[in-house]
Structure 1
Amino acid sequence: MAVILVLLIFGSLSKLGIFVASACLTILTLWLLAYLGIRSMFRARIASAFAGDDLPEIMKDLKVVINTPLATVLHLIVFRATSALKMITDIFLRQIRRLQIHGLYKSMSWKNRIVSNNIYELKGADQLTPELKKVIHAANSMPTTLWFSQNEKKEGALDDLIACGQLTLCSNLADYLKSLKKGSKREMVWNEVKDYHQEIDAVLEVLEHYWQNFRLDPYWMIRMYKDEQAEHEEQRRQRV
């Protein structure tokens, strides 16, 4: 039928029309052959690079995607794009934060006036009790996570992380305040805050008291907070 239709069309055309039609058919044929060849080559490259012998399985998965409702596909695309955007944004924000921290530590105005608080700073430190070492090791062994599972909460993973941060901050602040009276910091910082020497000594005394509490019980501050929260909750219930 198609052959008869082509013959009828060619029979009704002039010589110029026949020439143009022949050229168009030739171009169309070449384009079709090129398309089939490129598709075959592309599939072979994909198979060799990614799928190997599993290409038929991938094609089955592709058919599943084709048969998936359009609304579901759009939802998956939007979800994936949102996730990628969030990841890119987080990476960008981390870079900004890194630049800010770098600028802070390089600033002469803040030299000898900054105290860091990293949970790994006390790892391997001397004069740590076994309980402190256990908490610090647990916090340092914890992988990066967005949330804690119920099992991790029951095992006290969050408490380990908080306690390690608290006792590390306590130790770092105490060491920093002690260092203000020594070396170059004495001239650059201590002598510049003469009106606050008593307050600084009072803070140092409190920190040393806190540190002794941490040595006895690394979770003492967390327990105190939880007890206060429970007391406030009980008072709220009584008022209701």
Structure 2
Amino acid sequence: MKKLPKKPFESIALCMSGGGYRAASFHLGAMSYLNRVDLLENVKAISTVSGGTITGVVYALFKERGETFDQIYDRLIYQLRNRDLIKEGIAKLKLDGEWQNKTKRRNLINAFSEIYDEHFTEGATFSEFTEDGKSHLKLVVFNATEFNHGINFRFQNRGALGNNYVKVPKAIQGEIKLADIIAASSCFPGGFEPIGFPGDFLHAASNGLEELKSEKYLEDVGLMDGGIYDNQGIDAIQLSEVRNSEKHDLIIISDVSSPDMSGFEFYKDGKMEGLRTKNVKSVIQSIRRITTGVLLTLSVLIIGAIIIAWMAGFQNNIGTGIGIALLSVGIVLLAGFLIGRAFVKGLGRKIGNFIKKQVPEFYYQHLSALNLTDYKVGDYEPLIMDRIKSLLMLLQDVFLKQIRRLNYGKIYNSVDYEHRRISNLSKELTEDNFNNRTKRFQSLPNCPEHMKKPYPDLLGKELASTISEAAGFGTNLWFTEDDELNRMLDKLIISGQFNMCFNLIVYILELQQDEDYKEYSPLIKAEVETLLQNLLNDWDLFVANPRFLIN
């Protein structure tokens, strides 16, 4: 029994990835299926990131308050269906928008925090989570990334809250609002500004946080999306096992991200016509001619206005009035033009100096030998566009995919986690991803015959379509009217449910094939086999009617 868990399914850790409303809905579906097969109460630890934190915080909070899963499910479904976070957040940023907490910076991430506080967490704080809580969850971890040191920042009820550099004293952890935790965990770069700790976490009843800020953090620490560091939340569970010297029987990683990415496409040159055919030198000369023409025109206007007023004798008459009016307009336009030109020139110099500082002296000396103004504007397009596109791809895909591979590697390249891990991936049951890796279970000797069908027959047309549509949904923080008409929320939940059912089946089939499985007691084996039969029955129900649990 060295490799197998002592009691399968007795102690489960659930990791929930980031991915906006897609993640929140998919994970809710996964949890609802665990609840159906009586495994949700066996989840002793959760570690969530970004969109997964929306579901994780709401579930953990109201479970601690004694609500049933069905009550929490209905509560969260209502908010996901009716809250357009972007629309409501932007409304708060208007000059006449309602801003509750005056200590917060007036920006989009803090607007989201106020919405979470009002509608998702009802003003609750981290004091709801203690080490001896009432619910089945003994460990809750909500992950963010800290931008002073580039490492994880964990809001957790066991172990240090924060990280090795930024630690929140135990006595004041309970003052942190859960809404601010959701905001910090889901604050993805580009879409939001960093949320400042502790400044943006202050509220009317946060005396301890105020003292912490004044004594230690005069400059706020920037926090952003937990997915920057670990988008699956795996690391926190692994560290908790080391810290407690106690292993979970099973770690489930519910994940809507994908290892796949589109290949880089080089910029395709447009037709060399119009501005593209002109070299930079001629464009600069044209701009100079235009500015000179504007200056001359305004100068003539001012001189003409003076002449008109002079010819009118500077008396109280129409001529003088016209002259003074034209003179005033000319002076204002000229002043505005000169100020604008000076600003643009100054900005250009600053940008030029900034770029110059970024280029090593060795390269700058060689580049300066090129007369860059001789090249056509069209020649620069692919040079600039390919650089911008590759940089964005590096930040949005390459780095995140590599981090994902490293995090999965820590749990899949270690024999210590063999038969203690399940990946519940939103895309693995799409037709494109149902490859040899996914359908390896069909070669197992104990795989039921009716599950050895080819892809279209195995899932059925309606279920396959539902899984595919759910997998293709973007990382949004709202559902559009079209999404509502297409029942996208339901499809994401169904996808989470069915994927969880599938992965539990595969896990048990592989567990039964291990040579140590026979060493389990008859009672444990009977429980596992009963669970497997229930899962297989549900598989058939999903294929016949994908909405049977939704309905």
TM interval, shorter chain, is 0.5 to 0.7
Q: What is residue 155 of structure 1 aligned with on the other side?
A: 486
Identity, in percent, stands at 24
TM-aligned CA deviation for residue 94 of structure 1: 4.2
Q: What is residue 194 of structure 2 aligned with on the other side?
A: 85
Distance verdict in 2 for CA 1:92–1:119, change over 3 Å: closer
Taking only aligned residues, the RMSD between alpha carbons, in angstroms, comes to 3.1
TM-aligned CA deviation for residue 173 of structure 1: 0.6
The alignment's TM-score, normalised by the length of structure 1, stands at: 0.53
Number of residues of Structure 1 aligned to a counterpart in Structure 2 = 147
1:193 aligned to which of 520, 529, 541:
520
Q: What SS class does the counterpart of residue 222 from structure 1 fall into?
A: coil
Q: What is residue 17 of structure 1 aligned with on the other side?
A: none
Q: What is residue 166 of structure 1 aligned with on the other side?
A: 497
For the pair shown, the structure with the greater C-alpha radius of gyration is 1
Cα distance in 2 between the residues matched to 1:160 and 1:81: 28
Q: What is residue 541 of structure 2 aligned with on the other side?
A: 213
Question: Which of 102-111 and 152-161 deviates more?
Answer: 102-111
1:173-188 pair list within 5 angstroms: 173-182=504-513, 185-187=514-516
TM-aligned CA deviation for residue 104 of structure 1: 4.1
Query: Does 1:203 pair with 2:510?
Result: no
Q: Which runs of 5+ in 2 are unaligned?
A: 1-94, 96-102, 111-191, 197-221, 236-406, 435-454
Query: Does 1:134 pair with 2:243?
Result: no
TM-aligned CA deviation for residue 129 of structure 1: 0.6
Distance verdict in 2 for CA 1:217–1:80, change over 3 Å: closer
Distance verdict in 2 for CA 1:78–1:203, change over 3 Å: same
Distance verdict in 2 for CA 1:81–1:150, change over 3 Å: closer
Cα distance in 2 between the residues matched to 1:196 and 1:86: 48
1:119 aligned to which of 426, 435, 457:
426
Query: Does 1:95 pair with 2:229?
Result: yes
The alignment's TM-score, normalised by the length of structure 2, stands at: 0.24
Deviations 1:194-227 (A, max 9, x none): 341000000000000100000101111111xxxx
TM-aligned CA deviation for residue 128 of structure 1: 2.1
Q: Which of the two has greater helix per residue? A: 1
Distance verdict in 2 for CA 1:192–1:154, change over 3 Å: farther
Cα distance in 2 between the residues matched to 1:192 and 1:85: 52
Q: Which of the two has greater strand per residue? A: 2
Q: Which has the higher contact order (CA 8 A, sep 6+)?
A: 2
